[in-house]
Amino acid sequence: MNTSAVTWQRPPGSLYAYRVRSSPQPDSPVADSDPRLAGTVRLLHRRRGWAWTAIGGFLAFLVASSVYSNRVSVTGSGPLAILVLMTVLGALTVIGLVIAIVDSVLLGRRPAALREQASAAAAHHPLRAHAYRYPPRHLLSWVATWLVLVCVLGLGVLFSPGLVNGVSYLADGNSVTFVPQSWQTSCTYRHGCMTITDGILETGGGGMNATWPDQVPLNHPFLVREPVWKWGLGEALIDSDRLAVITICLSLLFIGFSVCAVVFFVKMVRNWLRHRRRQAA
C-alpha cells in the first residue's frame, strides 16, 4: 500500500509549481477504507500514548523518590506535596505499563502485513507529539500523559528553592545562628540509619524549626548558611559544597523537565486553536 501521495501546487502569483509529498492520516480515507487497518492504527496510537505515560512517569518517579529519600535521611521528613506527586506518578506508571503490554499482545495477534501498514500510516506521528497533538488520537492516554506533565511541572516548582539555596550557599550567602535542641534517628532503605539534630534557626528577628543533617552537641549554637527560600526543597539546610552541587543539579533537572512541559502546553494550545479555525472554516 502506498503510504504517501505526490501532488503539484502553484502558489498564487508564482510561475512555478512545487511538488508536495504528504502522508495519509490515520483518519483519512486511505486508512478508513479498511476497518481492520483503522482499528490497528488506533491500537498503535493508544499503545504509544500509554508507553509515553509509563516511561515519563517512571523517570520522574525515580528521580523524585531518590531526592525524597535523601531528604528524609537528612531531615527526618519530606515535603508532603512531593510524596503526593510521587504517588500519582507511580500509579500512572503502573497503569501505563499494564495497558501498553495489553495493547502489545493485541497487536501481536494481528497479521504481520496489517501491522506494517498500520506502522507506515502512523509513522508521521512521533511519540513525543502525543502530548501536544489536538485532537488527540486516544483521549485517555492523552489525559494520562498530561497528568504526568503536570506532576513534573509541580516538581519543578517545588525544586526551584533548592536551586536558589544551593547557589546562595556556594556564593557565601547570609549566615544565621542554629541552636541545637534534640537528636533523632532517621532511617531509610537507601542510606540506613543516622543521627540528625533538630533545633531552632534564628532568622528574621524570630526563630523557625530546622534540622541539621548531622549529630552536633546540644545547646551549643553555631552559624549556618541561611536558606533564601524556605519552602519545598528549600526547607532543608545545606552543610557542604557537595550537597549544594547535588541540590543544584537535581533542581536544574526538574526545572528543565518543567520547561519542556510548558513548551508542550504551548504547542497543544496552538494545535487546539488551529483545530478550532479549521472547524469554523
Check residue 58 and give its pLDDT. Answer: 92
**In which domain, by residue range, is 61 found?**
33-166+253-280
What are 59-74's pLDDT values in tens digits? 888 888 877 777 666 5
Residue 130: pLDDT band (50, 70, 90) is low
Least Cα distance to 63 among 252, 202, 264, 271 occurs for: 252
Confirm whether 264 is domain-assigned. yes
Check residue 245 and give its pLDDT. Answer: 87
**Taking a C-beta distance cutoff of 8 angstroms, is the pair 141, 53 a contact?**
yes
- Taking 3-state DSSP, the helix, strand and coil percentages for the chain, each rounded to the nearest 5, stand at 60, 15, 25
Tell me: do 88 and 211 sit in the same domain. Answer: no
Check residue 201 and give its pLDDT. Answer: 81
Mean pLDDT over all residues of the chain? 77
Tell me: do 38 and 107 sit in the same domain. Answer: yes
What are 179-234's pLDDT values in tens digits? 888 887 776 655 567 777 888 887 765 677 777 777 788 888 888 887 888 776 77
Tell me: do 156 and 184 sit in the same domain. Answer: no
Least Cα distance to 206 among 176, 236, 172, 162 occurs for: 176
Least Cα distance to 201 among 229, 231, 225, 171 occurs for: 225
Return the percentage of the chain with pLDDT > 70, whole number: 77
Residue 56: pLDDT band (50, 70, 90) is confident
Tell me: do 121 and 73 sit in the same domain. Answer: yes
Tell me: do 123 and 56 sit in the same domain. Answer: yes
